[in-house]
Amino acid sequence: MTESPTPVRLRVAPSPTGDPHVGTAYMSLFNLAFVRQQGGQFILRVEDTDRARFQADSEQQIYDTLHWLGLDWDEGPDVGGPFAPYRQSERLETYRPVADRLLADGNAYHCWCSTERLAEMRTAQQKAKLPSGYDRLCLGKTRDERAALPGFSEQPVLRMLIPDDAPASFVDLIRGEVAAPRPDDQVLMKTDGFPTYHLANVVDDHEMGITHVLRRRGDPLLAAHHV
């Protein structure tokens, strides 16, 4: 792999939801090796927006495990850096303007469907052997229009609007052309005001100047791509 014309910046972004995952250490090893070979920076970002599964002691366990393995980072919640904070729960003011802009530009929409209604929808799709995914019942509707229909919830989430012709392929530095199925209209902002991975991860990679992402694509194969 040839050297990047600009310093590379790679990150691992574990979630403090339990015991440290071996995959975090596995990917940290490859990220750190590539960064050191390229003369770049290795960033540890804690993605703690899943408050339902959050465990207060898990973050320290992540630090302890990676340090024990000798996998040290250049920037992170515990050491700081030019793009602090590196803990997503402390970056909520960064995500809200992006979500508002997506909504204003027609690239996202409010969804008032209850969890019960969504569960019934998925069950019906599975029984009919249809691809699972949100059926866009709320798309284009006002709150009052949606409230007149079954399965309404007072607190909406924000969903991304995936265009029907959205490109679903990219060039991977290792695997070449990679194609993916058309994504669902995933939730971007939850009812608790926290972003999901689909929004926070992308915003943070952009804001923190992440240049490459290394990810697992089955053992032991790795794939990499420019951000």
pLDDT value of position 167: 82
Mean pLDDT score across all residues of the chain: 91
Q: Report, as an integer, the average pLDDT of 14-36.
A: 93
| Signed CA dihedral, 74, 79, 83, 87: sign only | positive
- Distance from C-alpha of 31 to C-alpha of 224, rounded to nearest angstrom: 10
**DSSP 8-class letter at 90:** G
What pLDDT band is residue 6 in, cutting at 50, 70 and 90? Answer: confident
Average pLDDT over residues 94-112: 97
Query: Which of the four pLDDT bands, split at 50, 70 and 90, describes residue 2?
Result: very low
Residue 144 CA to residue 200 CA, distance in Å, equals 29
Neighbours of 38 (CB within 10 A): 19
- Report, as an integer, the average pLDDT of 121-126: 96
- Inform me whether the pLDDT recorded for 128 exceeds 70: yes
Helix crossing, 92-104 with 197-207: angle to 10°? 110
All residues at 6 or more sequence positions from 174 whose CB lies less than 8 Å from its CB, including other chains: 222, 223, 224
Query: What is the maximum span of the chain, computed from C-alpha positions, in angstroms?
Result: 59
Least confident piece of the model among 19-28, 44-53, 109-118: 19-28
Tens of pLDDT, residues 52-88 = 999 999 999 999 999 999 999 999 999 999 999 999 9
Closest CA to 32 of 72, 59, 69: 72
Beta bridge pairs of residue 80:
76
Instruction: Identify the DSSP state of 75.
Output: B
Q: Hey, is 94 helix, strand or coil? A: helix
Q: Is the pLDDT of residue 187 over 60?
A: yes
Euclidean distance between CA atoms 108 and 100, whole angstroms: 9
Residue 226: the pLDDT is: 57
Length of the chain: 227
pLDDT tens-digit profile of 211-223?
999 876 654 444 5
